[in-house]
Structure formats: structure tokens, C-alpha cells
Structure 1
Amino acid sequence: MATVTVNGGQQVHFVDYGGDGPAVLLLHSFMMDIDMWEPQVESFGADYRLIAIDERGHGGTPADDDFDYWDVARDAFGVLDHLGIERAAVIGTSQGGFIALRMALLAPERVTALAVLGTSAEREAEGTATVYRHLIAAWLEAGPEPLVDGIATFCLGDYEASAWKTKWLKLPGEKFQRIMETLVSRDSVLERAGEIQVPALVLHGSGDNEYPMARAESLVAALPNAEPLVTVVSGAHFLSLTHASDVQPHLKKFLEAHAAGK
């Protein structure tokens, strides 16, 4: 693991797993970190140069000021620059998908392929945003302990989440507020998805508690070179972790075909 300063002074914690294959950047979900990608590193890390980053306010990467996901996309490119990687395939789950889509819009020539799981190109629904702001207030008032069980069930379903809940219990209220406000206030990129010409793969769980299947269907329809939508039966919101064995064959096949680019 290492830390690099990019994008005008932002520190980013990352892991370069090495390897001689095409570069693949891994972008984790909200409140998660690099460790989320252990199943993928084990499954196909020998075939690719996998790089995982802790996004702003997560893991070992600080968030000292307000930011948006366009900023995090630039952070990610900064890490690739530091490693001398000109082009990479990008895989993102949930929040990681927000960032991956923005990377493909900011510098399409640098993204060889795009795979997103349990994500949305649209802004947060008004009702959901209100609920999340109540969650911020509750975290600031009472701390994380009364909330982490519900968050784990919402995001991870039946997955054994004790290790993640231990991490979340250490998350200060101010940091939680900052990262949640970034999520709640994000802009929509669905209207621009037609600009993303790279091969794309969208996977979505039928048990996703956050985004209905319609979000995934809209994204597939908007991406010019998207493969057919992959529905993971009973898949939870963070399905690249909770349903790794279900998504792995699809990710492997997609990367084999497109990770190296044209």
C-alpha cells in the first residue's frame, strides 16, 4: 500500500497489485475501502495489473474539504499518472460507478472499458436524499452505533459484515457528513452517457435496496456500446462483494474481451 499526492494536493491511498496484464482500476462503494476488492484480486489478479484506490474520505484517503465525484475521478487519473499508466479498464460498484462514469467522460481516451455494478447515472431521488440527510443528523447526534446494523443490511444484505461494521464505528461524524453530502448532492450524468463510447458492462442485483432495476436499464439504454444488462438474482447493493461468485464470470469475460483496448 502507498500514498501519493495528486490533483492539487490531495493525498490518495492506493494499492498496485502488479502484474503484466492490462491495467484495471477498482473503485469501491460508499463507506467501503480497498479491502472490498479482495474477491476480485484473488479471482483474476494474476491476469491483470489491478490498482485499487481509497476514494476521498474513505480508508486511508482524507477528505479535508468539500468535494464532488468529478474531483475523485481526477484523483484516480492522478494515481494512474503516478504509476505511468496511460490507459486502464475501470470497474466500480455503487459510488465507484459514479466515479467510473465521470472518468469516462473526463478523459475517454484513457478508459479502455467500463464495468459498473449496483450504480446509477442519475442524481439521488429527492425522497432518498431527505432520508440520507436525516441519517447524517442521527449520526452527528448519537454516533454510528445505533445505525451500522441497518446500514449493513441495506447495503450488504445477508453478507457477514462484522469487519465492516467495526470500521464504520470509527468513522467520525464530520467525515460521515462530508462523504454523505457528496453522495446526496451529486449531479446526473445520464444525459451525457451517450458520449461514453467504450465497451460497457452493467450488472445489477435484483435484491438491491438502493437503486431499482430501472436505473440500470436506463444506463444500459444510454450507453452506446453497452452489453446486455446482467441481472444477479437476489444480488445486494454492493454485489461485487456480496455476490462475487455470481459476478466474477461476467467480469472475467468482459475484461478478456476489452481490458486491453483496441
Structure 2
Amino acid sequence: MATVTVNGGQPVHFVDYGGDGPPVVLLHSFLMDIDMWEPQVEAFGAEYRLIAIDERGQGGTPADADFDYWDVARDVVGVMDHLGVERAAVVGTSQGGFIGLRMALLAPERVTSLAVLGTSAEPEAEGTAAVYRQLIGAWLQTGPEPLVDGVATFCLGDYEASSWKAKWRGVTGEQFQRIMTTLISRDSVLERVGEITAPVLVLHGSADSEYPIARAESLVAALPNAEPLVTIVNGAHFLSLSHAAEINPHLKEFLAAHAAGK
């Protein structure tokens, strides 16, 4: 693990697993960190140079000021620059997908291919945003303890999440407010994803508690070079972790075909 300063002074914590295969950048979900990708490191880490990044305000990467996902996309490109990685495949779940889509728009020459799971190109629905604002208030007022069980069920379904709940108990109200505000206030990129010419794989869980399958269908329809939508039956919102056994074969097939680029 290492930390590098990029993008005008932003420290970013990451782990470069090394290897001689094509580089693949891994971008985690909201409230998560690089440990989310342990199933993928185990499944195909020997075949690729996996680079997992802690996004602003999560894991070992601080967020000392307000930011948006375009900023985080620039952070990731900065880490690639630091590592001398000219081009990479990008895999992102939920929030990681927000960032991956913006990377492909911001620096298309750096992204050979993109796989997104349980994500959306659209802004947060106002009703959901209102619920999240209430969650911010509760986290600020009571702390995380009364809330972590519900967050785990919402994001991970029946997955055994005790280790993640332990991490969430250390998230301060200020930290939670900052990262959640970024999520709530994100802009839409659905109108722009037609500019993304790299191959894209979209995977979505049928039991996703955050985004209906229609979000994934809209994204696939708007992308000019999308693979057919992969629906994981009973898949939860953070399905790259909760349903790793089901999604890993799809990721392996997609990366084998597209990670190295043309």
C-alpha cells in the first residue's frame, strides 16, 4: 500500500498488486475501500496488474474539502500517471461506476475498457436524496451505531458484513456528510455517455435496493459499444462483493477480451 499526492495536493491511498498483465483499476462503492476487491484479487489477480484505489473520504484517502466525482476521476488518472500506467481497464461498483464513467469522458485515451456494476449515469432521484439527507442528519446526531445494520442490509443484502460495520463505526459525522453530499449532488452523465467509445460491460443485481434495473438498461442503451446487460438474479447493490462468485466469470471474460485495448 502507498499514498501519492495528485491533482493539486490531494493525497490518494492505493495498492498496486503488481504483475505483468494488462493494468486494471478497481474503484470501490460508497463507504467502502480497497478491501472490497479481495474476491477479484483472488480470482484473477495473477492475470492482471490490479490497482485498487481508496476514493476521497474513504479508506486511507482524506477529503478535507468539498469535491465531486470529476475530481476523483482526476485523482485516479493522477495515480496512473504516478505509476507510469498509460492505459488501463477500469472496474467500478456503484460509486466506483460513477467515477469510471467520468474517467472515460475526461480521459478517454486512458481507458481501454470499462465494467460497471450496480451503478447509474443519472442523478440521484429526489426522493432518495431526501432520505439520504435524513441519514446525514441522523449520522451527525447519533453517530453510526444505530444505522450500520440498515446500511449493510441496503447495500449488501444478506452478505455477512460485520467487518464492514466495524469500519463504518469509525466514520465521523463530518466525513459521512461530505461523502454523502457528493453522492447526492452528482450531475447526470447519461446525456454524454454516447461519447464513450471503449467497450463497456454493465452488470446489475435484480435485488438492487438503490437503483432499479431500468437505470442499467438506460445506460446500456446510451452506450455505443456496450455488451449486453448482465443481470445477476437476487444480486444486491454492492454485488461485486456480495455476489462475487456470480460476477467474476463475467468480469474475467470481459477483461480477457478488452483489458489490453486494441
TM-score by length of 2: 1.00
1:158 corresponds to which residue?
A: 158
Aligned AA (2:94): S
2:20 corresponds to which residue?
A: 20
Aligned AA (1:38): E
Q: Distance in 1 between matches of 2:8 and 2:82?
A: 13
Equivalent residue pairs, number: 262
**CA shift for structure 1 position 248:** 0.5
Residue aligned with 1:191, SS: coil
Q: Distance in 1 between matches of 2:159 and 2:234?
A: 12
Q: Deviations over 1:108-165 (max 9, x none)?
A: 0110000000000000000000000000000101110010000000000000000000
Aligned AA (1:158): D
Q: Deviations over 1:179-223 (max 9, x none)?
A: 000000000000001000000000000010000000000000000
Which stretches in structure 2 are left out of the alignment for 5+ residues? none
Residue aligned with 1:174, SS: helix
Which stretches in structure 1 are left out of the alignment for 5+ residues? none
Q: Distance in 1 between matches of 2:172 and 2:142?
A: 11
1:124 corresponds to which residue?
A: 124
TM-score by length of 1: 1.00
Q: What is the root-mean-square deviation of aligned Cα atoms in Å? A: 0.3
Q: Deviations over 1:218-250 (max 9, x none)?
A: 000000000000000000000000000000110
Residue 62, structure 1, aligned to residue 85, structure 2: no
Q: Distance in 2 between matches of 1:137 and 1:191?
A: 32
Q: Distance in 2 between matches of 1:185 and 1:168?
A: 22
For 1:24-103, what aligned pairs fall within 5 Å after superposition? 24-103=24-103
**CA shift for structure 1 position 80:** 0.3
Aligned AA (2:61): T
Aligned AA (1:230): V
2:235 corresponds to which residue?
A: 235
1:196 corresponds to which residue?
A: 196
For 1:101-250, what aligned pairs fall within 5 Å after superposition? 101-250=101-250
Q: Distance in 1 between matches of 2:164 and 2:124?
A: 24
Percent of aligned pairs with the same amino acid: 82
Aligned AA (2:258): H
What stretches of structure 1 move > 3 A for 4+ residues in a row?
none
Residue aligned with 2:159, SS: coil
